[in-house]
Amino acid sequence: MSFLFGSRSSKTFKPKKNIPEGSHQYELLKHAEATLGSGNLRTAVMLPEGEDLNEWVAVNTVDFFNQINMLYGTITDFCTEESCPVMSAGPKYEYHWADGTNIKKPIKCSAPKYIDYLMTWVQDQLDDETLFPSKIGVPFPKNFMSVAKTILKRLFRVYAHIYHQHFDPVIQLQEEAHLNTSFKHFIFFVQEFNLIDRRELAPLQELIEKLTSKDR
């Protein structure tokens, strides 16, 4: 969560998505931060009693977007057209971009371009009041969970790219603990609600097993 990051990480890749203060979602975010502070991530990701699953997923999805935004923002100088001509997560996994509306046929592009497309697309979804309603009493759409799953699946790819292609600069910048804590929180969350297909997680399977085995 955002409180994990010091001022060194204040550079974000895209503008931070704020949850309006005083709203119920803001209260949920505060609850999430408080339970995260207890150190038990398995418990922290669980749906709080009496809360709506869609709203809990929405608040956490916004938060993960902000975290990844910040983490990627710290290494953009190392992720260039030259260093990363394709969007990959190790030698076996390559991603091509399509959003189904502006770009229907998947295109091969550099990692910075792919991540720019991806984060812009996520931002557009989060800003869409019909998909992510911020006002009390406005219902979530029927397709909300499938949209949230697509967002989280795509955000995972940014973690995978950072771990596979840019872990050295992460260590140099002393961001390793931030990255690991953020990713561990992300994985526990998607596992708790079964939000990302296991095959999609394959590029970081070993790391996932390592990070989660201590907390079974």
Q: Which residues pair with 87 in a beta bridge?
A: 95
CA distance 104 to 106: 6
Half-sphere exposure of 137 (CA within 13 A, CB side): 0
Give the residue ranges of the annotated binding site. Answer: 79, 84, 161, 166
Q: Which residues pair with 88 in a beta bridge?
A: 94
Q: Which residues pair with 165 in a beta bridge?
A: none
Whole-number Cα distances in Å, 24 to 15, 75, 101, 177: 22, 33, 32, 30
CA distance 124 to 161: 22
Give the residue ranges of the annotated binding site for Zn(2+). Answer: 79, 84, 161, 166
Whole-number Cα distances in Å, 215 to 117, 124, 185: 35, 35, 12
